[in-house]
A and B are shown apart, each in its own frame.
Chain A
């Protein structure tokens, strides 16, 4: 069982600032996903990264998968209040269909 560590646990920033959150493991991921969970809702998939060194962009969000596929980062540029939420990383293995293993998450609060 892989242990996913996310940091920081909590992040509070002003609108317009940038932020980066991290997801690390001592084991190699087959692939990794990032989800965002807003209060009162279930997690929503943002991105899946598969290849070591891969970078994906989703508007103001940039996701990077480490070269060794043991870590990932999520960078948000010019954060907006709508970015507020719990950001969760998930490691995937080929036999993990329906059995996601989540990190503890980073709670991000963006204030106007």
Chain B
């Protein structure tokens, strides 16, 4: 079975631009979460979606938004990019509360 997939794998943007990151969960998983991992740090929770509804939001500005589609895939959008948004963005899907499966991430570089 395929694991969590994310696209693109790498992305380079300039300050002020907008970016959309995509995630496909494991088949049967209805929960998708997004995390930001800055170099040298652990992942920080951004959003959780379950059955297309937002179930949690971390301490991130309104420039960050997300949505989940009927097939449970998800998009993370970031507007007005800042240099500090450069990070690895991880998507995780789950079917049980105590186990999450992570994708390989999208490496975003903002110049």
Contacts and interface: CB of A to CB of B under 8 A. Distances in A.
Verify that A and B bind, or say they do not.
Answer: yes
A98 B100 contact: yes
Give the size category of A's interface with B: 20 to 34
Interface of B is mostly: strand
A103 B94 contact: no
Interface stretch (B14-22, B75-83, B102-110): B102-110
Nearest to A35: B102
Give the size category of B's interface with A: 20 to 34
Given A99-B45, A104-B42, A105-B42, A42 B103 contact: yes
Contacts of A43: 43, 90, 102
Contacts of B24: none
Interface of B: 4, 31-33, 35, 40-45, 48, 50, 55-56, 58, 90, 92, 94, 97-105
